Chains A and B, each alone.
Chain A
Amino acid sequence: MPYNVMVVDDAAMMRLYISSFLKSRKEFKLVAQAANGQEALDKLPDLPDLDLILLDIEMPVMDGLEFLRHAKLKTRAKICMLSSVTVQGSPLAAKARELGADGVVSKPSGTVSHDLEEKTGDELTRVMRALVGA
Chain B
Amino acid sequence: MMDEMDEIWMLYADDGAQSLDAMEAALDALNGGKGDMGAHIGALFRAVHTFKGNSRVLGLAQVEGLAHLAEDLIGLVRDEGVPLSGEITDILMRTGDALRGMLEETADTRADVEPGPTAGLKQDLRAMIGRLTGRETEAAAPAPAPQAEGAPQKDAMEEAPAPAAAPKPKVPAFDMGLAGLLDQLDGGDGTDFDEFEGDDDEAEVADDDAPEFEPEPEFGEAVEPEVVVEPEPPLELEPEPEPEQAPAPQVKTVAEVTEGKLLAPDPEHHKIFNDMADKTCAALDALIADWAEDSSPKARRQADNLHYAAGQLNLADWLALLGPFLSADAPDLGATRDLSAAMRRLLSGETEPEAVPDALPEAPAPDPVAEPAPVAVHAPEPEAAPKPAPAKKAVPRAKPVVEVTEGKLRADQTYHQIFADMVAKSLEKLDALCASWSEATSLAALRKEADGLCYAAQQLDLASWVALLGPMAEAKGMSHAAAEGHVAALRAHAAQEFGGGDAAPVQSRGPVDPAADGRAFFLVMAELYPLIAEQGTRMSGDAPCTVAERRDLAERIADQAAPRGFVRLVDSALRLSQEPAGHAYRAAELALYEELVSVERSLPASVFDAEMMAPSQILGAWCADHIFETLQSLRKGLEARGAEAGANWFPAFDTLMRQVHFACLNYRIDTASQLTMALIDLFARVRIDQKAPDVILLQMGRGFVDTMELVFDALDQGDTPDTSRIEKMFEEATNACFVASGVMTAKSIETRLGLPPEFHRVMSPESVKTAHEAIREGLHFYVLRADLNDDDALAQGFLEWITTGVVRMITNVTVFLDKATLFDFLVASTLEEDRMVERLAMLDPSGARLMMAQALRVREAPEVEAAEPDSLDLIPMSEVGDSLALLEAVGAISASHAQLEHELTQLASVDLVQDVLEALRAAGVGELEQRVRSVLRDRLEQHNLRLQEISESGAQLSAELSHLQQESVAQRSRPAEVLLRPLKAYVATRARKIGVDASVTYVGGDVMLDQMLIEELRGPLKTLVNLRLAGEYPASRFHISVEAESDHVRVELTDNSPEPAMAPAYGALADEMARKKGALRRVSLPAGAGVRFHLRVPQHMIVLDGMVVRVGHVRYVLPVDAIHRILQTDRLLPVSASGATRMLHIDEGALVPVHPLMPEPAASSGGARLYVVLSSNETRIAIPVDELLGQQLVMLRPLQGVLSGMRDMSGIAILSGGEVGMVVAVSALASGDARKASVAA
Task: Please give the residue numbers on chain A whose beta carbons come within 8 Å of chain B beta carbons, in ascending order.
Answer: 10-13, 35, 48-49, 58-60, 69-70, 72-76, 84-85, 87-100, 103-104, 106-112, 114, 119, 123, 126-127, 130
Contacts and interface: CB of A to CB of B under 8 A. Distances in A.
A26 to B, nearest CB: 21
A74 B567 contact: yes
Given A11-B789, A73-B565, A112-B799, A98 B823 contact: no
Nearest to A9: B814
A100 B681 CA distance: 11
B809 interface: yes
A113 to B, nearest CB: 8
Contacts of A99: 598, 601
Given A10-B814, A99-B601, A88 B823 contact: no
Given A58-B814, A89-B733, A114-B809, A97 B764 contact: no
Given A12-B792, A104-B681, A84 B688 contact: no
B696 to A, nearest CB: 11
Contacts of B814: 10-11, 58-59, 111
A73 B766 contact: no
Contacts of B826: 110
Interface stretch (B431-439, B672-680, B1045-1053, B1084-1092): B672-680
B788 A127 contact: no
Contacts of B595: 72
Interface string B664-707: 00000000011101111110110011100000000000000000
B763 A87 contact: yes
Nearest to A127: B688
A110 B788 contact: no
A11 to B, nearest CB: 7
B677 A73 contact: no
A95 B569 contact: no
Contacts of A119: 766
Interface in B808-859: 809-814, 816, 819, 821, 823, 825-826
Ranked nearest first, the 7 interchain pairs of A and B with the lowest CB-CB distance are: A110-B812, A94-B677, A110-B811, A94-B678, A84-B762, A85-B761, A89-B733
A5 B100 CA distance: 43
Interface residues of B, number: 63
Given A88-B682, A88-B736, A110 B819 contact: no
A123 B674 CA distance: 24
B539 to A, nearest CB: 24
A69 B595 CA distance: 10
A48 B290 CA distance: 8
Contacts of B907: none
A65 B208 CA distance: 43
18 contacts: A10-B814, A11-B789, A60-B821, A72-B568, A73-B566, A74-B567, A76-B568, A84-B812, A88-B737, A90-B761, A92-B761, A94-B677, A94-B681, A108-B767, A109-B764, A111-B823, A112-B825, A123-B689
B602 interface: yes
Nearest to B598: A72
A110 B767 contact: yes
Contacts of A98: 661, 673-674, 677
A89 B736 contact: yes
Contacts of B567: 73-76
A100 to B, nearest CB: 6
Interface string B729-751: 00001111100000000000000
Nearest to A90: B734
Contacts of A75: 567
A70 B518 CA distance: 13
Contacts of A95: 674, 677
A110 B821 contact: no
B1238 interface: no
Interface in B567-607: 567-569, 571, 594-595, 598-599, 601-602
Nearest to A96: B681
Among B735, B736, B788, B821, max chain A CB count under 10 A is at: B821
B795 interface: yes
Nearest to B812: A110
Given A70-B602, A108-B767, 19 more contacts: A11-B789, A13-B796, A13-B799, A59-B814, A60-B819, A73-B568, A88-B681, A89-B737, A93-B677, A94-B674, A94-B678, A95-B674, A97-B684, A103-B688, A104-B685, A109-B770, A110-B812, A111-B762, A123-B689
A99 B661 CA distance: 12
A91 B678 contact: yes
A99 to B, nearest CB: 7
Nearest to A81: B681
B737 A13 contact: no
B734 A91 contact: yes
Given A90-B761, A97-B677, A130 B688 contact: yes
A109 B764 CA distance: 7
A110 B736 contact: no
Nearest to A98: B677
Given A73-B602, A91-B734, A109-B766, A10 B761 contact: no
Contacts of A69: 598, 601-602
Nearest to A112: B812
B1164 interface: no
Interface in B874-897: none
Most buried by B among A35, A87, A97, A100: A87
Nearest to A15: B789
A88 B685 contact: yes
B245 interface: no
